[in-house]
């Protein structure tokens, strides 16, 4: 049941067509599967576990920066905005902002309906003064939200460096659409992972407990369980490495030996050590991200980082 405390909008986005996209991705060269398919129930649990890993500095570093920057943020933004969180998930990070920022309204935007409803309901009960909305849409495709224009002081919040999972051209397109949605005087508060010593990056995506490996391999378990397929996840190994030329972490699944896999009525040959590309996670310098934001119609108003400059939280304003 949907609580009456929440205004809910459902665009019934679906999560994409696993069968079609996996078959197309494996028919390509190099073979690839889009990272959006990581996040079934098990994948989301594994991602939450990744965020707690000692090697995965991103979540705790971003939360530390948010705690430290909120007073400054209030100076820039003032009270009574509509705070729109993109990919709101558990709506955990926004809690670090609410008491001090005092938005009048909050809108969680996420593709996963169950998660969106439970987390926005919890917010509505924990912050009774807040007018809470939830929009179930795939924001990487559309930002068309009914009644959105009735709010005139809008601030978007896009934490977690999820922007890094888009190739730069797609990242610019997404930011451009966010800029259009925010219209004049709109702000975007965004988490951006920074370039750093590649050893730190390589350990963050190759944790000792093997959780990231399990997260990557879960994609194959999902294909085996949800599609008609003989794919064997044990016949693959996780690999992740920083590619300095492209400024990104790449994650792949490596075929342990030559094999043929069947998915529905398609079969695919893989050579020994042939890779299936599953994710990119781009890292930026503050300047590089400023250029990307400028190409999308934003300027960097303020950038906060941790002392080691591992991660940044950036306040962008539409120009
Ligand atoms: C969601 N995203 C920002 C994560 C990242 O770091 O690119 C996904 C992830 N992949 C492996 N570990 C975490």
Report the interhelical angle of 168-182 vs 286-295 (nearest 10°).
60
Q: Taking Cα atoms as reference points, which of 145, 142, 166 lies closest to residue 84? A: 145
The share of the chain scoring above pLDDT 70, in percent, equals 98
Q: Whose CA is nearest to atom 9 of ligand 1?
A: 47
Q: Whose CA is nearest to atom 5 of ligand 1?
A: 281
Q: Taking Cα atoms as reference points, which of 186, 207, 170, 185 lies closest to residue 46? A: 207
Statement: residue 20 has pLDDT above 70: yes
161 Cβ closer than 6 Å to some ligand 1 atom: yes
Give the pLDDT score at 164. Answer: 98
Confidence band (pLDDT; 50, 70, 90) for 3?
low
Q: Is 241 exposed, middle or buried (0-12, 13-18, 19+ CB in 10 A)?
A: middle
Confidence band (pLDDT; 50, 70, 90) for 19?
very high
What would the pLDDT profile of 197-229 be if each residue is shown by its tens digit? 999 999 999 999 999 999 999 999 999 999 999
Give the pLDDT score at 298. Answer: 96
The pTM is what? 0.96
For the four alpha carbons of 133, 134, 137 and 138, in that order, the dihedral sign comes to: positive
d(CA 242, CA 5): 45
Beta bridge partners, 194, equal: 284
Q: What is the mean pLDDT of residues 301-317?
A: 98
What would the pLDDT profile of 86-106 be if each residue is shown by its tens digit? 998 888 999 999 999 999 999
Q: How many helices (H) and strands (E) does the chain have?
A: 9, 14
Q: Taking Cα atoms as reference points, which of 23, 26, 24 lies closest to residue 274? A: 26
214 Cβ closer than 6 Å to some ligand 1 atom: no
Give the pLDDT score at 4. Answer: 62
What would the pLDDT profile of 262-281 be if each residue is shown by its tens digit? 999 999 999 999 999 999 99
- Ligand 1: centre distance to CA 1 (Å): 32
Give the pLDDT score at 215. Answer: 98
- Ligand 1: centre distance to CA 4 (Å): 34
281 Cβ closer than 6 Å to some ligand 1 atom: yes
DSSP letters of 76-112? HH-SS-EEEEET-TT--TTHHHHHHH--SEEEEEES-
Give the pLDDT score at 2. Answer: 58
State the average pLDDT for the chain: 95
Confidence band (pLDDT; 50, 70, 90) for 13?
confident
Atom of ligand 1 nearest to the CA of 47: 13
Statement: residue 301 has pLDDT above 90: yes
43 Cβ closer than 6 Å to some ligand 1 atom: no
85 Cβ closer than 6 Å to some ligand 1 atom: no
Phi, psi of 305 (to 5 degrees): -135, 170
What would the pLDDT profile of 106-165 be if each residue is shown by its tens digit? 999 998 898 899 999 999 999 999 999 999 999 988 888 878 888 889 999 999 999 999
d(CA 56, CA 202): 10
Q: What is the mean pLDDT of residues 17-37?
A: 96
61 Cβ closer than 6 Å to some ligand 1 atom: no
CB 93 within 8 A of CB 160: yes
Atom of ligand 1 nearest to the CA of 160: 3
Sheet holding 311-318, edge to edge: 6-10, 131-136, 105-110, 82-86, 154-158, 187-193, 311-318, 298-305
Give the pLDDT score at 1. Answer: 54
Q: Which residue has the higher pLDDT, 314 or 1?
A: 314
279 Cβ closer than 6 Å to some ligand 1 atom: yes
205 Cβ closer than 6 Å to some ligand 1 atom: yes
d(CA 145, CA 161): 23
278 Cβ closer than 6 Å to some ligand 1 atom: no
Q: Whose CA is nearest to atom 7 of ligand 1?
A: 281
Confidence band (pLDDT; 50, 70, 90) for 182?
confident
């Amino acid at each position: 049941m949907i609580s009456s405390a929440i205004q809910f909008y459902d665009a019934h986005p679906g999560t994409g067509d696993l069968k079609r996209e996996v078959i197309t991705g494996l028919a390509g060269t190099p073979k690839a599967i889009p990272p959006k398919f990581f996040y079934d129930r098990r994948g989301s649990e594994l991602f939450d576990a990744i965020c707690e890993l000692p090697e995965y500095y991103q979540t705790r570093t971003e939360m530390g920066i948010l705690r430290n920057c909120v007073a400054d943020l209030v100076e820039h933004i003032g009270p009574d905005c509509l705070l729109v969180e993109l990919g709101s998930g558990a709506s955990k990070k926004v809690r670090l902002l609410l008491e001090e920022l005092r938005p009048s309204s909050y809108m969680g935007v996420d593709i996963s309906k169950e998660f969106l409803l439970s987390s926005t309901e919890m917010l509505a009960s924990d912050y009774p003064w807040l007018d809470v909305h939830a929009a179930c849409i795939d924001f990487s495709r559309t930002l068309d939200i009914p009644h959105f224009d009735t709010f005139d002081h809008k601030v978007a919040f896009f934490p977690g460096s999820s922007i890094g999972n888009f190739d730069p051209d797609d990242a610019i397109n997404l930011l451009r659409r966010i800029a259009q949605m925010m219209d004049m005087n709109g702000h975007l508060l965004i988490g951006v992972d920074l370039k750093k010593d590649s050893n730190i990056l390589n350990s963050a995506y190759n944790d000792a407990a093997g959780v990231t490996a399990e997260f990557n391999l879960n994609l194959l378990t999902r294909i085996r369980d949800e599609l008609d397929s003989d794919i064997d996840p044990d016949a693959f190994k996780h690999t992740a490495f920083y590619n300095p030329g492209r400024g990104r972490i790449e994650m792949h699944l490596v075929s342990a030996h030559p094999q043929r896999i069947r998915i529905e009525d398609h079969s695919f040959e893989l050579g020994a050590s042939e890779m299936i590309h599953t994710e990119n996670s781009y890292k930026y310098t503050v300047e590089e991200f400023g250029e990307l934001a400028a190409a999308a119609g934003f300027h960097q108003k303020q950038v906060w980082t941790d002392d080691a400059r591992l991660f940044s939280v950036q306040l962008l304003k539409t120009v």
